[in-house]
Amino acid sequence: MKKLNKTLFSILLMLLLFSKDTLQTFAMETSFQLPVETVLEGDRPLRQETFVIQMQALTNDAPMPEQTENQKVTIEIQGQGKKAFPPITFKQPGVYKYEVRQQPGNQEYYTYDTCVYNVTVYCTADSAQGLETTVVALEQGKEEVKKDAVRFVNRYELPKVPTEQNTLVKTGDKALLSTLLWILLASGFMILFLVVKKQRDKRKIEE
Residue 37: count of CB within 10 angstroms of its CB:
15
pTM of the model: 0.65
Tens digit of pLDDT for each residue in 85-125?
A: 999 999 999 999 999 999 999 999 999 999 999 999 999 98
Residue 12: which H helix or E strand, with range? helix 2-27
What is the arithmetic mean of pLDDT over 156-164? 84
Per the model's pLDDT, the better-predicted residue between 27 and 199 turns out to be 199
Is residue 24 scored above 50 in pLDDT?
A: no
d(CA 187, CA 193) in angstroms, rounded, equals 10
Distance (Å, rounded) from C-alpha 87 to C-alpha 193? Answer: 95
* Fold for the domain defined by 27-156: Immunoglobulin-like (2.60.40)
Domain residues of the chain, as ranges?
27-156
Higher per-residue confidence, 174 vs 190: 190
Please name which of 116, 111, 81 lies closest in space to residue 98, comparing C-alpha atoms: 116
CB atoms under 10 Å from CB of 31, counted, come to 13
